Homo-oligomer: A and B are copies of this chain.
Amino acid sequence: MEPAALIGLDWGTSSLRAYRIAGNGRVLERREAPRGILAVQDGAFAEALAEAAGDWLEAEPDLPVLASGMIGSRQGWREAPYAECPAGAPELARGLVEVEGPAGRPVRIAPGLLTRDAAGVPDVMRGEETQILGELGARGTGDGRFVLPGTHSKWAEVREGRVTAFATYMTGEVYDVLCRHSILGRLMREGPPDPSAFRRGLDKAAGGAAGPGRLLHDLFGARTLGLTGDLPETALASYLSGLLIGAELAAAAPSEGAEPVVVLGSGTLTALYLEAARHLGLAAEPGSPDCAALGLLALARAAGLLGTSDAHP
């Protein structure tokens, strides 16, 4: 077993991803368990960690362990209060909290980020800031704009290694509740994704008059286009997806001529965002699939957890 520099945990709401990470950022081993914080009963986080990676902990008893994500929320293992923007690795490292893991092993938990917009409305993230840090390292830059698609998409702006501002879009969750619980779902029928209906939704969202309220109107088209037979019932979910992702991109994506936005994540949702950006003429490119592990390593380094023998490479 090649020696690692860190055991990193990307511990979110629905899953726990564990990495053995070498000092140069290479992921030596990875695991994923359906043990997100909502799936752990009665605060048995140490037990969940032992189950997922107890052999790693025993095999390298001196290796530091660092977690980020919802594990640091009020509903997690221990609350790590938010760091306020602008914040980068040094600010996040100062906010680590420590808990006792399996067999007394110390486990550090990273804070999330908090920002406020001009109207004073707060926004929060937990875990995404670590992925962004990792991607900055992979690119060897301290600047950029990032989107992390998901149930709650996060858009972040980074300058000189610090997240200066970010915004959450409830796109994925709104799609889900409308399909499952609103009148829009009643006409929908299961079917393969319909790229043409998806693009029609994108165009509808990106064109026409401005104003945030227009979305409340556009949504109804995911019913009426089915009522009139303009779209088959199997295409209505793709149209709705296009409407919502198109609205998010039109509101959040950089304008023409700007640096490309980096799409972080993996799987079909990320591919959908890249396709949507391409269709709408917005510059976007995929990030590294290992950005979470890289970010955990960068944080551990900033916190001095890796020891003097593992200085900046």
Give chain A's interface residues, CB within 8 Å of chain B.
114, 117-124, 152, 167-171, 173-174, 177-178, 180-183, 203-205, 207-221, 224-225, 227-228, 230, 244, 246-252
Contacts and interface: CB of A to CB of B under 8 A. Distances in A.
5 closest Cβ pairs, A-B complex: A213-B251, A213-B247, A210-B210, A211-B251, A212-B215
A248 B209 CA distance: 13
Given A124-B227, A213-B248, 7 more contacts: A117-B208, A121-B224, A123-B221, A168-B217, A169-B220, A212-B215, A213-B215
23 contacts: A118-B208, A120-B230, A121-B204, A121-B224, A122-B224, A122-B228, A122-B230, A123-B224, A168-B220, A174-B178, A174-B219, A177-B178, A177-B181, A177-B182, A210-B211, A211-B247, A212-B214, A212-B218, A213-B247, A213-B252, A216-B247, A216-B248, A217-B252
A244 B215 CA distance: 10
Contacts of A209: 251
Contacts of A225: 121-122
Nearest to A253: B213
Q: How many copies of this protein are present in the complex?
A: 2
Contacts of A251: 209, 211-214, 216-217
Nearest to A123: B224
Contacts of A230: 120-122
A224 B225 CA distance: 35
B213 A249 contact: yes
Contacts of A152: 220
A220 B246 CA distance: 18
Contacts of A250: 211-213
A174 B168 CA distance: 18
Contacts of A174: 178, 182, 216, 219
A171 B124 contact: no
A173 B181 CA distance: 10
A45 B204 CA distance: 39
Nearest to A207: B119
Contacts of A170: 182, 216-217, 219-220
A174 B218 CA distance: 12
Contacts of A247: 211-213, 215-216
Nearest to A73: B227
Contact of A182 (B124, B167, B173): B173
A246 B211 CA distance: 11
A221 B120 CA distance: 10
Nearest to A183: B173
Given A181-B180, A210-B211, A251-B209, A171 B122 contact: no
Contact of A216 (B119, B169, B203): B169
Contacts of A114: 228
Nearest to A124: B224
A180 B181 CA distance: 9
A82 to B, nearest CB: 9
